[in-house]
Amino acid sequence: QVQLVESGGGLVQAGGSLRLSCAASGSIFVISGMGWYRQAPGKQRELVASITPGGNTNYGDSVKGRFTISRDNAKNTVYLQMNSLKPDDTGVYYCNAEVVATSTPRLRNYWGQGTQVTVSS
């Protein structure tokens, strides 16, 4: 069993900051890519940011220059620092990880339960 647990969501005013964390636990052999996605009501889920084990990053166009993704491989944890938040950043943020579990040699995507981020104007 592999679980991803997010934390750090909440309500902030426009221009404020939040830091999200996601810790993977369970029968993990190795974790490859990790990332954050978000979904607003009535919209498709979209990539926010992703990061490789070596630290290479990708960002969605709407968050470039404002958000920073990082990871601690020893802790199996990925972070998302969100600055200069806008009302359009509001949504449910989901953690994602590509994991090889000890029970199988196959890479699989795992998802957290989601954490709500609300930015007021």
When pLDDT is averaged across residues 67-92 and rounded to a whole number, the result is 97
- Res 105 pLDDT > 90: no
Q: Per-residue confidence at 4, pLDDT binned at 50, 70, 90?
A: very high
Share of the chain above pLDDT 70, in %: 100
Q: Per-residue confidence at 104, pLDDT binned at 50, 70, 90?
A: confident
List, for residues 24-71, the tens digit of each pLDDT value: 999 999 999 999 999 998 999 999 999 999 999 999 999 999 999 999
When pLDDT is averaged across residues 80-103 and rounded to a whole number, the result is 97
Per this entry, what is the length of the chain? Answer: 121
Q: How many CA atoms lie within 13 A of 89 on its CB side?
A: 32
**Among 110, 66, 70, 117, residue whose Cα is nearest residue 93:** 117
Q: What element of type H or E holds 102?
A: none
- Residue with token string 């090889």: 100
Q: Per-residue confidence at 1, pLDDT binned at 50, 70, 90?
A: confident
